[in-house]
A and B are shown apart, each in its own frame.
Chain A
Amino acid sequence: MAYKRQFYPGNSVPAKNRRRYMDPKVKLKKLRDVPMDDVVRIMGHRNPGEDYKSIHPPIEEGKEPECPIRKLVVPIEGAKHGDRVRYIQFTDSVYFAPISPYQRAWMYLSRYRGVDTGTLSGRQIIEVRERNLEIMAKEMIDNETFDPALTGIRGATVHGHACRLDENGLMFDGWQRYQWDAKKKEVVYVKDQVAIPLDRKISVGKPAAAADLKKRTTIFRADGVDMRDDKEVTMYGLRIHKLRTLGGYQPWAFKE
């Protein structure tokens, strides 16, 4: 029988969202449409319309060594063209951001090829060939895993995920890369990922309502869904710890 991926245990809202975000067969909801040129501007790696910088000639022009792995793995577009590896990094607030760093890593690795992720407590960086990155970045900014108030796009000075929210409900950012547009009730970026001022403000849309965020989040919290209320998730966590403990000590003692 072929193995069927299960992605994640549990029946709670955060557990279901974890499964949905990880499952590449699930098409994530598109909530906004930030123009690609604006995504490129916010990332700040190149100017819209500018050629991609390359770090090696197109693969087809080069002389690749004889290698069975190279024959097996089809290069992604950016690799084919010799693009630089660039990044986008998201900071996710603890206050019911739609997704959090570990789920980002799991989601990226489940949905995309040719990516390198790095996971920390507040932020998650994904590095990939530039033209692929731009497509991914737009998807991530447009879809349901992004909230304008609780998700930050930050290259450096990334802390803020655990800070309280400002009077408009926005996550703290030491560089104030984004601001609240009180007139439109939208969040606008005024600086790029590394806090270089943008030529013009870029709207990323309206923040979601608290009730909506609680339906979309992957985060277990005492004031939302406590992880211990999801028996299956809790059980699996304890089981993993127990198996690892006994596996490193007296594997014969484990009878289940």
Chain B
Amino acid sequence: MATKQKLFMDACKKKFKEEPTDISTKYYCFGGWKQSKSKVEFQKTAEAIAKKRGIPMLNEDIGVPLGQRSWMPYQLSHTDIYAEADDLHCVNNTAIQQAWDDIRRTVLVGLDSPHQTIERRLGKEVTPETINAYLETVNHTMPGGAVVQEHMAEINPALAYDSYVKVYSGDDELIDEIDPRFVIDINKLFPKDQAEQLKKAIGKTLMQAVRVPTICGRIMDGATTSRHAAMQISMAFISSYKLAAGEAAIADFAYSAKHLSINMGTMMPARRARGPNEPGGIPFGFMADMAQSDRVHPDDPGRAALEAVALGAAVFDQVYLGGYMSGGVGFTQYATAAYTDNILEDYVYYAIDQIKSKYGGFCKLDPKDLDKLMKLGDDINAYALEMYERYPAIMEAHFGGSQRATVSAAATGVAGAMATGVADCGLNCWYLSMLQHKERTGRLGFYGFDLQDQCGSANSFAYRSDEGLPMEVRGPNYPNYAMNVGHLSGYTGIPKAAHAARGDAWTANPFVRVAFADPALVFDFANVTKEIGRGALREFQPAGERSAVIKG
């Protein structure tokens, strides 16, 4: 067992006054909810609202007496930020909302097909100059500007300052000719080896990263993104290439924008009641590509996996399952366990040490050697569970078994993925962790959670479409994952871990990868926990606010 300083120690000492190894403490003597600054604030606010509206509101004295234990803050992992749990709730945290907003308002629309239409069908020339003119026009239309009809209502730019269109390509010569204000520069944003991989994969395709206004996604839903983009792109083509608004070729622009585009999420079945570009349709590999840690910290695959876990926790578990599956409150503590207090951090870096010292390093374990893979999984899972047993402080920090199950399985899954370079091996280790966890402790998570985790070994390598998929393209709507609250964080981290360990520049899609490297995004996808922490400290400035059209 590793003896070096545990990464969760600082958080433990901040949370509890006792030693992290102490089993005993005091309860029922801390003044209840009044220990919490945010609860005091909430109570005061609610009292004022109740008085004003004449209807009772939040009352911290209703229900179970809160604050019977010492109120504990949460450290945003690999940052120095501590926050109250309330400030990590997705309704209270503008950074979490913006992470989701930035994903939902993105659609990737290729320019190759429209350029072919212009050149071959209409006989007009497409040059870097015309592309620049188009980009200037589309950056007028996308936030809500009109170009074709003379008497047109437009969107107030103060509401849509976050909306724009940029392009990128693997063709350096073409990119050199494009106005840099409109370019996501792969060479500047990625380490050289990653840039070369990405450019090779993207080739000469010229791709647009379209960001519709955050406020549009909030008013409508993710399905509006490609429609908003298609309309405004078509208008920009008409204007910049001087086309006839009614000619049949224009339909090709709209068609390509709607149907040859890459949505961040695929449409979900009607029973889920969500259109395209909603979180339930985002493959884990796409979410892993959105997380950008390995772009700025290429030598730290551990951080890459952990940041992907954090993004998955916030968007999939808190925003999506927290709303679609449950609603109300309750998922915050569950999901945030994966990205607070450096507990998963400790387990993941322990796993990395073990992979390097006992398994030959990253990607050296033969993925076909199931016995050795299981040995690794057993080692990492035993370490994770032992830490909970040796340090009652972290056992109490993760006071729900579902938290411990997710975090232990995530560490074990990340280990399997990094050791082999294969995400499905990581997934197999996830399920090994779940079975062993239940057997060791006699407990795991909650009913529905347990069912799925106890049958998952059998589908971890299945590629038949009704039974399984490569982990990179599974997603929250994969049959057994639709109720797996808390798991979707780990499921995002596992494919990321495999590809980060391999030194791959992307996990599932190079176009998605580059699109989220864009520094013009409101949320910084290279520093997920830090951004969520800024949200918790109420320092994060989100887009999509309506104050520009509210007097006073």
Contact = CB atoms under 8 A, between A and B. Distances in A.
B435 A240 contact: yes
A165 B24 contact: yes
B23 A172 contact: no
A191 to B, nearest CB: 12
Interface string A148-165: 000000000101111111
Contacts of A176: 28, 68
Interface in B442-501: 442-447, 450, 455, 457-462, 467-468
Size bracket, chain A contacts: 35 or more
B537 interface: no
B402 interface: yes
Interface stretch (A34-42, A53-61, A116-124, A128-136): A116-124
B435 A241 contact: yes
Given A166-B24, A172-B27, A122 B436 contact: no
Given A100-B443, A241-B432, A242-B374, A121 B400 contact: yes
Nearest to A159: B399
B267 interface: no
A222 B457 contact: no
A95 B69 CA distance: 18
Contacts of A246: 370
Interface centre among A100, A164, A166, A175 (most CB of B within 10 A): A164
B439 A120 contact: no
A219 B462 CA distance: 33
B44 interface: no
Interface stretch (B233-241, B321-329, B385-393): B385-393
B458 A247 contact: yes
A65 interface: no
B382 interface: yes
Contact of A121 (B432, B435, B440, B444): B444
Contacts of B378: 228, 234, 238
A164 B442 contact: no
Nearest to B450: A119
A234 B468 CA distance: 28
A227 B439 contact: yes
Interface in A207-256: 218-223, 226-228, 233-234, 237-238, 240-242, 244-249
Interface string B49-71: 00000000000000011001100
Interface centre among A103, A122, A174 (most CB of B within 10 A): A174
B217 to A, nearest CB: 36
B431 interface: yes
A151 B18 CA distance: 24
B145 to A, nearest CB: 53
Given A240-B435, A241-B435, A248 B457 contact: yes
Nearest to B447: A118
Contacts of A240: 435, 457
B442 A159 contact: no
Contacts of A223: 389-390
Contacts of A164: 18, 22-25, 392-393, 395-396
A99 B443 CA distance: 10
Contact of B374 (A100, A195, A238): A238
B3 interface: no
Contacts of A226: 382, 386
Nearest to A97: B442
Interface string A90-123: 0010110001111100000000000000111110
Given A95-B23, A162-B400, A164-B24, A237 B445 contact: no
Contacts of B459: 248
Interface centre among B22, B390, B392, B399 (most CB of A within 10 A): B399
Contacts of A169: 24
A166 B458 contact: no
Contacts of B457: 240-241, 244-245, 248
A100 B396 contact: no
Given A162-B401, A218-B442, A237 B25 contact: no
A51 interface: no
B107 interface: no
B274 interface: no
B12 to A, nearest CB: 12
Interface in B309-330: none
Contacts of A165: 23-25
Contacts of B64: 157, 174-175, 195
B386 A222 contact: yes
B501 to A, nearest CB: 21
Contact of A248 (B388, B399, B435, B458): B458
A167 interface: yes
Contact of B441 (A174, A220, A244): A220
18 contacts: A102-B443, A120-B443, A159-B399, A163-B399, A164-B22, A164-B393, A166-B24, A166-B27, A167-B25, A174-B65, A228-B378, A241-B436, A244-B455, A245-B428, A245-B431, A245-B457, A248-B457, A249-B461
Interface of B: 18, 22-28, 64-65, 68-69, 370-371, 374, 378, 382, 385-386, 388-390, 392-393, 395-396, 398-402, 404-405, 428, 431-432, 435-436, 438-447, 450, 455, 457-462, 467-468
Interface of A: 92, 94-95, 99-103, 118-122, 157, 159-167, 169, 172, 174-176, 195, 218-223, 226-228, 233-234, 237-238, 240-242, 244-249
Given A162-B388, A176-B28, 10 more contacts: A122-B400, A122-B443, A159-B399, A163-B396, A165-B23, A237-B436, A242-B370, A248-B460, A249-B460, A249-B461
7 A-B pairs with the lowest CB-CB distances in the bound complex, closest first: A121-B401, A100-B442, A248-B458, A244-B457, A249-B461, A222-B386, A227-B440
